[in-house]
Structure 1
């Protein structure tokens, strides 16, 4: 066991709320902070007893974090992820990783150079219905797709 992970969530929309809820339910994770420019972030932080930041950059400066979930609009993924990695923090970024392949490849290179973990939230890969359909497709039962 590596001990308690100190995590934060950037973005308090629908996906951000899901990440916050999931982290709050985990025994080996401490939800340290939520960053969002809207009042939703403050209310969510109050509900879960963690710190709130209107500016995620301030959060990255002040908090000692092991990982961050990036749950902002896709158009902001690239810049926010670069800031998180510049702070030396690993991240889980919601899909799609970025708006285009070039930006995505840049993030992968940056993660390697900074020595941080970069993961993209493709949770449907583990959905039992999706896995069953993949098995049917792999068996050729649907013909050429």
Structure 2
């Protein structure tokens, strides 16, 4: 069970490990991080080659490990959420368009998503089926496609 938790934290929660090392370990910066071990008293986080000990508020039982780690991670300030959302948004290069024709038939295609001067634009030809529908301000929806 402990190895699964360590593997999960290292594969999916690097940012949280950095946050824990900074908040509870007094670390200023950390570029390489991993959870090296854990026990019923806390976590050992390897941060740039240095072990940072993060203790649980009290000793716990094995059945409390998962919830205690979640509680520690949940206590971290989430100041970087907006930055992460902007990076996520900026990582897209295309959008899937979904509109309804005048007859109520679905029309689905994709178009380039362009960013200029802090605004986003969809590049669609005037001869495309979507153009007239979107121009008439009917209901439409979109999904993003990544560049990679």
For normalisation by structure 2, the TM-score amounts to 0.28
More helix by share: 1
Instruction: Determine which structure has more spread, i.e. the larger CA radius of gyration.
Output: 2
Question: When the two structures are superposed, what TM-score results if normalisation uses the length of structure 1?
Answer: 0.29
Give the structure, 1 or 2, with the largest relative contact order (CA under 8 Å, sep 6 or more). 1
Q: Normalized per residue, which structure has more strand?
A: 2
